[in-house]
């Protein structure tokens, strides 16, 4: 992860984003810390009093508006710890033994799953914190997490592509899809989309209709500028249904 020294006006960015997409869920930031003592200096930081998954910690920020910090000891298993680089990818973890017969029908398939996950390299970080972007407490975060419905998400993607177009190609590991979102974004520094998995929905409180985009902060102003221009062009959220039996020429002439 590269150092980002940009000064962001988080309140303005989030207000503009919400005005364009009408998000239901609080946009949050995630930041890794080389020393837990640095993480503990965050204003109004909460530390868990129970054992959690990272999904729950993220949910406490995005669903409840809390600022929460964790170390490896606060997490229930190495599945969570490994994705955010708090412990290394051990032989036991890579074996997939704990998922064999539950999520996958053979040990070989379970191991393939573990090997495919994009994780933060271990050995550098002791702690992680999440907080609503508007709090400004992570100053800045390593990545922003934005939950959105498919309709909102495709326009967010269109906003990212409005200038400097590139084709996005994302992965789907199935279970442990946090490796496709925050794991991949932290490891690669690129926007990363995921379909939240069973654990994120069961333990993190993610609703059925939401997807997750994780991106380094520098991409957020780009996406918002693109969304603003799309809105000026009449391409905005909510996307009004045109009608499946209407003559399409009038609508198509305006949008295409």
pLDDT digits (tens, 9 = 90+) for 26-51: 999 999 999 999 999 999 999 999 99
Mean pLDDT of 61-81: 98
What tokens were used for 144? 């922003």
What tokens were used for 95? 């074996």
**30 in the Ramachandran plot: left (φ > 0), alpha (ψ -120 to 50) or beta?**
beta
What tokens were used for 29? 């930031």
For 3-7, 48-52, 215-219, which range has the lowest pLDDT when averaged over its residues? Answer: 3-7
Q: Is the pTM of this model over 0.75?
A: yes
What tokens were used for 160? 């990212």
pLDDT at 1: 61
């Amino acid at each position: 992860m590269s150092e980002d020294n940009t000064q962001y006006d988080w309140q303005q960015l989030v207000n503009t984003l919400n005005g364009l997409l009408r998000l239901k869920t609080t946009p949050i930031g995630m930041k890794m810390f080389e020393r837990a003592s640095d993480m503990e200096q965050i204003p109004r930081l909460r530390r868990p009093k129970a054992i959690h998954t990272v999904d729950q910690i993220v949910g406490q920020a995005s669903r409840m508006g809390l600022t929460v910090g964790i170390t490896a000891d606060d997490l229930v298993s190495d599945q969570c710890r490994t994705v955010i680089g708090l412990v290394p990818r051990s032989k036991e973890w890579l074996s997939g033994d704990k998922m064999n017969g539950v999520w996958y029908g053979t040990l070989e398939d379970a191991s393939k799953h573990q090997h495919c996950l994009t994780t933060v390299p271990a050995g550098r970080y002791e702690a992680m914190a999440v907080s609503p972007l508007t709090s400004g407490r992570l100053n800045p975060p390593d990545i922003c997490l934005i939950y959105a419905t498919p309709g909102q998400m495709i326009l967010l993607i269109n906003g990212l592509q409005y200038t400097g177009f590139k084709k996005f190609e994302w992965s789907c590991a199935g279970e442990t899809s946090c490796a496709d979102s925050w794991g991949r974004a932290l490891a690669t520094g690129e926007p990363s989309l995921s379909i939240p998995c069973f654990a994120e929905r069961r333990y993190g409180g993610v609703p059925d209709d939401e997807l997750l985009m994780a991106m380094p902060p520098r991409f957020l102003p780009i996406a918002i500028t693109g969304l603003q221009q799309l809105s000026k062009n009449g391409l905005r959220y909510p996307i009004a249904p045109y009608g499946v039996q209407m003559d399409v020429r009038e609508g198509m002439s305006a949008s295409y």
